[in-house]
Every structure is written in C-alpha cells, then in structure tokens.
Amino acid sequence: MPTEFTPLLQHAGEARQWKLRQLFDDDHQRFDHYSVEAAGLFLDFSKNHISGHTLQLLTDLARACHLEQQRDAMFSGERINVTEDRPVLHTALRLPAQAKLYVDEKDIVSDIQAVLSRIGTFSERVRKGSWRGFANDVITDIVNIGIGGSDLGPAMTCAAMRTFTQDGLRLHFLSNVDGHDIDATLSGLNPRSTLFIVASKSFTTPETMLNAHAARRWFLQQGQEKDLPKHFVAVSTNAAAVQQFGIDTDNMFPFWDWVGGRFSIWSAIGLPLALAIGIERFREFLDGAHAMDTHFQSAPLERNMPVLLALMGFWYRQFFGSSSHLIAPYHHDLALFPSYLQQLEMESNGKGTSRDGQALTTPSAPVIWGSVGSNGQHAYFQLLHQGSDLIPIDFIAALKPAHPHLEQHKVLLANCFAQSEALMRGKSQAEATTDMQAQGMSAEKIQALLPHRIFPGNRPSNTLLMESLTPATLGALVALYEHKVFVQGVLWNINSFDQWGVELGKVLAGRILTELDTGKTELHDSSTAGLIARTRNAM
Ligand code: G6Q
C-alpha cells in the first residue's frame, strides 16, 4: 500500500468501530455538515462512516496524489492517456461556444461547434419532417447501431429524456451481435420511414459492422442503393471506412480520438439524443455538464461534489473491504443509468497496473451494479440489510416528477428515504423485541424470532437529489460520475482512459470465428476446443 495511505489506514481502524446512529446522535447538524450542492444537484453524504478528521485525511491524500494538478492537466489537453498517447478532452465538448482550447496549436472548440451546428441542422430537418425517406415518408423510427460507448450513452440518455422526446419519434438501439437483437429491433419497422445511425468511433467494430450490413440488406429489400443516403448516416472518427461502407461523408458526423468511447455522449455520438429532444435541449444537456466541470475545477476539495463522491467510494473500497457499489435510481427513466455507470467506472478503473506500469498493491474499481427503486427493494435489498457484505449505495431521486401521479411519487420518495434510513439505523434487539411485543407475540416466540428480526444497520449511502430530471440535470449527473471516476483513477494511480482488456477480447473472437469454419483448434485449451467442436457439430 502506498505510504500516503498510512494515516488513513490507522484512522480507518477506528472508523470501522463507529456506529452511524451514534454519529447522528452526536451531531444534530450532521446533514448540514455533510451535504453539498452544485450544478442543480444536491448530495447528502452524511450517512457515511466519516468525521471531519476523515475528510481532512482523505483530502490530504488527494492533494498528495496531485489531484488538482492532474485535473488541470486533463482540462487543458495534456496527453494524460499515457498508454494511447492522447489528450482526454470530453470536457471540451461542453465548453461554451465562444471558449478557445488549443490542441497541437489548433483551436478545437470551433471544430466542436461546427459539428454541433451540423447536428442541429440535421436533427431539426428530421424532427420537422423535411428530411424524407426515399418514398417521401417522414422519418418516424431511428435506429442507432453501435456498441459499448457508442450505445450505452445514447440509449441511457434517450431513455432518461423520454418525456422531452418529440411525439411520433421512436428511438431504437441495436447493439448486440446476437441476431435476436436485430430481429427484435427491425420487426415492425418500415424501411421507408426508418433512419439508421451507424455509430462507431473506429468503424471497424465487428458487432456494429455486421449489424450495419444486415440493416443495409434489410433496407435494400425495399429501397435501392441510390436511396441509402436518405436512410443511413454515420458517426465516426474514420471517414475512409465510412465511405467504404457506402455512407456519403456529407452524412457523417465526426468526432476525435481525444474522446474516449465511454465519454463520448457529448460528441456526435449524442446524435440520437439531439434527434429526440432537439438541439436546444441537447445544448442544455451540455451546459449542465459544463456547470459540473466548472464546479469540479473551482470548488475546494472539501466541498467538491465529484471529489467527495470519489473519496467516499475509495474509503469503503480501500479500508472497509467493500467490493461492490450499488446505484439505485428512484426514477424510472434512469433505468439504464446503472448499466451506463458500469461501463464508465469498471472499464475506466478496472485495472491492475499503475500509470507507470507497476502492479497495483491496492484494490481498484469495485463492481458497479443496480437497478431502479422501488423494484430493487422487492428483490435484492434483503442482502443489503442483513447480508454479510458492506455495499455502499448511491440513491438518486428527483423531487418533482414529470408525470401527474403525485401519490405514487410521494410513495417512491418515501421508500427511497426509508431505505437509506433503515440501512443506516438498522433495528436493535430492544426495538425488535418491542415491535414483536406490540404484535402480541409470546415471549417464547419472540426469543425464537429475535435473531432474524435484528438488523445490524450501519450501512452507508449517499443520496443525490435534483429538482427534476431535465437535460441540464442529466448532464450534470453524468459529468459528476465522470469526474468521480477520474478522481478515483488519480488516487489509485490508474490511467482511467485506456481499455486493453476490451481489445484482447476483440482479437480472440476474430481467431475463434475462423476456427468455427476450419475446426483447427489445436492451439486452444480442451474447454475452448470442446466448445468450438460442439458448435461445429450443431451448425
Ligand atoms: C469505450 C470502449 C468501448 C467502445 C466500443 C465500441 O470506452 O472503448 O466500449 O466504445 O468497443 O467501439 P467503436 O465506437 O469503435 O465501435
């Protein structure tokens, strides 16, 4: 363990003995002391095993790891993605139009704005019905074909912005190479009113290319080659491959190699979102993220929301042995947010090697998982309350709903707050006994049930609130977690911006694909060879 961690290691020994209940009893203003507001989001982090001293030690560590310098290096375009020798500039995509930022002596903001303006023109044409299909039909269905970072961001944000989506426009997301996905997506669609967006940074990803070619064949059953430009557009950094596929580069929306796939929703990869909600609202989404960027760059670490979120996660992962972290949005339109964060956090910080090539001596990213509340409460929350692992949770909720069912909204929020309280307080022996006595149980029955009815409590959580889920608050929320990931990467000394594990899988799948035809499997272990042989027999 790095020597900078030593003071925290000693302090954690004490903190693990603390009872959250007691911390609240000792400080009646704990909620005020441990909450922070920024960019339209409110974070209550009072239900954590921390004191003022803990925060002091954690922020000391962040400073010792040169967090502020590394943050500034990212924003200014230094090549902090060392293994790919690239800057990391998704934050530039949400800079105000008049800003300037130079990469290799060229202002990138004007390029970004030029693409945004093309996205605006195109999306307004589709939305207003002036972009027509080959038989003059208005576009009603848009299919985004992409995977990983070219799928999860558009899919998650379009779902989140459901209530802002233009009536009559349906967004579909085709990602899986499993043919069942394309079958299900295309069934019921009409090629005359369907627009495909082929979204791939590299434009070589096999899953996306196969699906794009299959969609093209499906389209050509009714349309002709000359009609393709009306129905296929591309988002990519690879103009040559786009052209080779047969998409006119006039219908290609570019982005740049300094935008990582999982950070690309702010670029042209966000085209489905711009189509769904319109360019003005897409710009509000960018502005919301920029507001979080400004906060991250300027707030002192002790009051800095992404830093605090990162420090809480780090604290439990590093010193409390927690190996997973639950994301619980109490907002149905954020149903895909846990999956989105799974990629963002696990692909960024799921590494075993430090930035300078040494094996890490500390754990890195935890498993991120979750689903919407209150559904989760009726499924896996049992384990959170009484299971053997400590699993920190982020509850996320909007105070005002985008629907008229106020009674349901009140029940939803009551459940959300009740869960964090119950997890924090638990239920003591005395409380469980009193409850059962009130139900008129015999002393004997109480004795038998007591061990099952006690809840240890002391389970930490954060609660993130927003007034309502809008393009701006969604932008701030996503940027918040991006920066959380960055901060944790700094603490673990990880390059959060490469993904060599993903690359390995891509190469091996290509080899096995050939072997499914040839049957030459001698280079494999007996399991892989056996699986290939069984598949060949069945084909
Ligand atoms: C993201 C990853 C990965 C990537 C996909 C799709 O950070 O690199 O999820 O987004 O593999 O890649 P393409 O956009 O190049 O098709």
pLDDT at 110 over 90: yes
Percent of the chain residues past pLDDT 70, beyond the cut: 100
CA dist 72 → 89, 307, 382, 426, 484 (Å): 11, 14, 43, 42, 15
Domain at 90-284, CATH from 3.20.20.300, 3.40.50.720, 3.40.30.10, 3.40.50.10490: 3.40.50.10490
Give catalytic status of residue 213 as yes or no.
no
CA dist 428 → 1, 40, 432 (Å): 36, 37, 6
Catalytic residue among 347, 351, 482, 484: 347
Could you tell me which residues are beta bridge partners of residue 233? 197
pLDDT at 221 over 90: yes
Percent of the chain residues past pLDDT 90, beyond the cut: 94
pLDDT at 29 over 80: yes
Q: What is the side-by-side strand order in the sheet with 232-236?
A: 170-174, 141-145, 194-199, 232-236, 252-254
Q: Predicted confidence band at 505 (pLDDT cuts at 50, 70, 90)? A: confident
Q: DSSP string covering 250-306, please?
A: GGEEE--TTS-GGGGGGTGGGHHHHHHH-HHHHHHHHHHHHHHHHHHHHS-GGG-HH
Say if strands 41-44 and 461-466 run parallel, antiparallel, or are unpaired: antiparallel
* Other CB atoms within 10 Å distance of the CB of residue 66: 12
Give catalytic status of residue 180 as yes or no.
no
Ligand 1 atom 9: residue of nearest CA:
148
CA end-to-end distance (rounded Å), the chain: 51
The pLDDT score that the predictor gives to residue 438 is: 97
Q: Predicted confidence band at 503 (pLDDT cuts at 50, 70, 90)? A: confident
| 349 Cβ closer than 6 Å to some ligand 1 atom | no
Which pTM value belongs to this model? 0.96
Tokens at 409, concatenated = 């909204």
Pocket mutation for ligand 1, best pick of 173, 176, 205, 267 (most atoms within 8 Å of C-beta):
205
Closest CA to 275 of 255, 253, 247: 253
- The whole-number average pLDDT for the span 378-406 is 96
Q: Which helix (H) or strand (E) holds 527?
A: helix 526-538
Ligand 1 atom 10: residue of nearest CA:
149
Same fold, 36-48+304-419+460-497 and 90-284: yes
pLDDT at 523 over 90: no
Tokens at 454, concatenated = 């006690």
- The whole-number average pLDDT for the span 344-358 is 96
| Whole-number Å distance between alpha carbons of 7 and 13 | 10
Closest CA to 206 of 523, 533, 536, 502: 502
Q: Give the chain's mean pLDDT.
A: 96
- Give the Cα-Cα-Cα angle 292, 293, 296 (nearest 5 degrees): 85
Q: Ligand 1 centroid vs 200 CA: distance in angstroms? A: 7
Q: Which residue has the tokens 């994301």?
A: 327
| 347 Cβ closer than 6 Å to some ligand 1 atom | yes
- The whole-number average pLDDT for the span 98-123 is 96
CA dist 177 → 184, 208, 507 (Å): 12, 7, 16
Tokens at 5, concatenated = 């961690």
| 153 Cβ closer than 6 Å to some ligand 1 atom | no
Pocket mutation for ligand 1, best pick of 86, 90, 147 (most atoms within 8 Å of C-beta):
147
| 150 Cβ closer than 6 Å to some ligand 1 atom | yes
Q: Which helix (H) or strand (E) holds 424?
A: helix 406-425
The pLDDT score that the predictor gives to residue 502 is: 82
Which one-letter DSSP state was computed for residue 344?
A: I
**For 132, phi and psi rounded to 5 degrees?**
-115, 155
Question: Domain-by-domain residue ranges, the chain?
Answer: 36-48+304-419+460-497, 90-284, 426-459, 501-538
- The whole-number average pLDDT for the span 188-217 is 96
| pLDDT tens by residue, 268-319 | 999 999 999 999 999 999 999 999 999 999 999 999 999 999 999 999 999 9
The pLDDT score that the predictor gives to residue 101 is: 97
Q: Which helix (H) or strand (E) holds 182?
A: helix 179-186
Least confident of 122-126, 263-267, 470-474, 497-501: 497-501
pLDDT at 506 over 90: no
Catalytic residue among 378, 444, 452, 522: 378
Q: Predicted confidence band at 472 (pLDDT cuts at 50, 70, 90)? A: very high
Q: Predicted confidence band at 511 (pLDDT cuts at 50, 70, 90)? A: confident
Q: Which residue has the tokens 């196969």?
A: 210
- The whole-number average pLDDT for the span 392-409 is 97
The pLDDT score that the predictor gives to residue 2 is: 75
Contact 338/329 with Cβ under 8 angstroms? yes
| pLDDT tens by residue, 67-108 | 999 999 999 999 999 999 999 999 999 999 999 999 989 999
pLDDT at 49 over 80: yes
Residues 6 or more apart whose Cβ sits within 8 Å of residue 206: 177, 506, 509, 510
The pLDDT score that the predictor gives to residue 510 is: 80
Coil, strand or helix: which one is 171? strand
- CATH top-level class for 36-48+304-419+460-497? alpha beta
Ligand 1 atom with the smallest distance to the CA of 208 is: 16
